[in-house]
Amino acid sequence: MKILLSCSNTNSPSFNFYKDSLSKLIKENKKIKFFAKKYNNKLLEKHYDIVLFMSGTKNSNFIKRDGILYGIVDPRAGNYDDFQKYDFIIANGIEEKIFFSFSKLPTFIYPVYPSINFKREKYNRNKTIISYHGNREHLINMYPRITKAISKIASEHLIELVLIYDYKKKGKINIFKTNQNQFKISHKQYYNNCYNKYLRDTDIGIVPQIIPSKNKKIKKNFSYYFSKQLFKKKYHFSINFKETTNLGRHLVFAQLKIPTISDYTLSSSNFINNGVNGYLAHDTIDWYEGFKYLIQNKKKTKQIGSRFYLDWKKKYAHGILNKKLLKFLIRLNDK
């Protein structure tokens, strides 16, 4: 079976993460031949059994050929009406699968994340290093919900905050409006394989994913007033996150046994057993209590990090995902 992964932008982190993880398919089956190349029209002149297009490649760029299965990998909102020629979807998370479920295409969930090439052995004694890695949007959205929690815990313990993101394009951001000298903040420029260097000393990982709602107006109809009268108060809980939300950023920390606090999302709530292999948090108090517990209970914290690692290895290690993906592809190919 020949499998091709193609993309118009081979410099994107997602393409490289998928290329590295999917290349390990050959370890699961020696009959598998895997190729990852930049898209061009001549690529499909060769025969492939399965062609995987990253989301940046539109349908108009290729002509579907008989005998080849076409899959779209990690689709984005811009692909919403772009599924006519595809046979299946490889989604990076539950959120993406649900978002594109209207397509009725067979979908396999494969979180995208890089492999870590070292074992973390050093632990800090006199201070706690809290690390974030991800894009600028989630970093900005930490304010004020999570930044207040960090500032509060920093008033009680010696804290260093490490922020790993691409700051060269738009500059470093300041999300702490007060207490600037309360704790050290290190800005780290993202690059491929940077985690091997930047996360060596991390004690706690954080994965903010919630996007503040811009629409605070609630449509009030008859049922609203009836419900308000019946229950005497309004019950409402709203969480907003992107369609591309997934476990990838969690799994970077999990490989290093770094205990992690995460926002509530479908993916994180499905994987994190609160207080057992990590912590789920929403408001400032949740985040602060999570920091406080992990800092003050070193032995339990280490157990949580170890359980996080074991659960990743059992459910989401690339070898496990590839075995399941291979079965998924073989079933489709046999139809």
* 11-29 tens-digit pLDDT: 888 999 999 999 999 887 8
Instruction: Write down the pLDDT at residue 149.
Output: 96
For the chain, counts of helices (H) and of strands (E): 12, 12
Distance separating alpha carbons of residues 189 and 176, to the nearest angstrom? 19
Range from 60-64, 168-172, 190-194 carrying the lowest mean pLDDT: 60-64
Give residue-wise pLDDT tens across range 256-302.
999 999 999 999 999 999 999 999 999 999 999 999 999 999 999 99
Instruction: Write down the pLDDT at residue 11.
Output: 86
DSSP, res 170: T
Region 213-225: mean pLDDT is 51
Distance separating alpha carbons of residues 111 and 102, to the nearest angstrom? 21
Instruction: Write down the pLDDT at residue 222.
Output: 47
Give the rounded distance of the alpha carbon of 95 from its chain centre. 11
Q: Tell me the sheet residues that pair with 38.
A: 7
Sign of CA dihedral 273, 276, 280, 283: positive
Distance separating alpha carbons of residues 210 and 141, to the nearest angstrom? 7
Q: Give percent above pLDDT 70 in the chain.
A: 86
> What tokens appear for 190 in the block?
């993202």
Torsion angle in degrees (nearest 10) through CA of 132, 137, 140, 145: -80
Give the count of beta carbons closer than 10 Å to the beta carbon of residue 314: 9
